[in-house]
Amino acid sequence: MKLPNHLAIIMDGNGRWAQLRGQPRVFGHIKGTRIAKKIITECSRLGVKNLTLYAFSAENWLRPEAEVSFLMKLLRRYLDKESQNLVKENIRFSIIGEVERLPKDVIDSIQKTMRATQECTGLNLIFAISYGSRQEITRAVSAIAQKVRDGDMSPEQINESVINEHLGTAGTPDPDLIIRTSGEKRISNFLLWQAAYAELYFCETLWPDFTKLDLMTALADFAARCRRFGGLKAENSPPPTQYSDEQLLH
Ligand code: FPP
């Protein structure tokens, strides 16, 4: 089966999952973390090369303090507990997002996990934390503008590669497939630039209920799609016409 080289997931529906069970929202985040662990292992086993998980958006800072603080603790606990497993599974960990907004202990755990896994050559696992695509693009534009101001770059040198190199995702291929769970059909400030040609897959399952079978269903759906990147696939090319453009436009 043709796998996406880069799979990105918006893990949505934790709060609703908990509320449906009469439990506090954070219960959904706890279950959601277990599911994330399972899906990471499965992607690694299948041979997906890059996996980005939207773990905390720039807009999530607006949630009640107690939920934000719980999510930060959960993140830290995940990293501290999983770091050695990631190494065992040959998974390289990194993050995108405004890391400086995170609590110091979370930044420390992120850096430790990145160091511990830096030689790993299997799955490239990226957590988007305190991440917003518009913020990422704004930063890139600002950094490029400073280079132009300082005379290190001319406006004519700015092209798509230059912009790519100034994004948090520099060096990682664009996502081929973006999955969003929980029935919402939005991109919500996630990888806006990078998703130019991504296939989108939406499913009703709430993230804490997401199974390996749901993952396989999404991957099979992706494998069956015909990606043309704005061009034409050979078998879809029209037969050559006997008319000139002028005749056709007449
Ligand atoms: C969306 O559900 C999910 C989040 C805001 C956080 C996602 C975080 C996790 C799955 C846990 C942390 C992950 C790792 C890998 C440590 P929601 O709360 O917006 O749900 P709702 O839309 O039903 O309210």
Residue 40 has pLDDT above 60, yes or no: yes
| 180: CB partners within 8 A, 6+ apart | 9, 10, 12, 186, 187, 200, 201, 202, 203
Residue range 175-196, pLDDT digits in tens: 999 999 999 999 999 999 999 9
Cβ count within 10 A of residue 210? 25
Could you tell me the fold of the domain covering 6-249?
Undecaprenyl pyrophosphate synthetase (3.40.1180)
Which residue among 14, 23, 54, 96 is best mutated to probe the pocket of ligand 1, counting the most ligand atoms within 8 A of its Cβ?
14
Residue with tokens 């850096």: 111
Residue 238 has pLDDT above 70, yes or no: no
Does 15 sit in the ligand 1 pocket, CB within 6 Å?
Answer: yes
Residue range 54-88, pLDDT digits in tens: 999 999 999 999 999 999 999 999 999 999 999 99
Residue range 145-175, pLDDT digits in tens: 999 999 999 999 999 999 999 999 999 999 9
Give percent of the chain with pLDDT exceeding 90: 90
Active site residue 164: no
Domain residue ranges in the chain = 6-249
Strand order in the sheet with 6-10: 92-96, 124-131, 50-57, 6-10, 177-180, 199-202
pLDDT of the residue at 147? 98
pLDDT of the residue at 89? 98
Grade residue 97 by pLDDT with cuts at 50, 70 and 90.
very high
Which residue owns the Cα nearest ligand 1 atom 7?
Answer: 55
Residue 222 has pLDDT above 90, yes or no: yes
Contact 131, 54 (CB under 8 A): yes
Shortest-distance atom of ligand 1 to CA 60: 5
pLDDT of the residue at 207? 98
Does 109 sit in the ligand 1 pocket, CB within 6 Å?
Answer: no
Cβ count within 10 A of residue 155? 8
Contact 14, 29 (CB under 8 A): yes
Cβ count within 10 A of residue 27? 17
Grade residue 244 by pLDDT with cuts at 50, 70 and 90.
confident
**Model-level pTM greater than 0.85?**
yes
Residue 227 has pLDDT above 90, yes or no: no
151 Cα–ligand 1 center, Å: 43
Mean pLDDT of the chain: 96
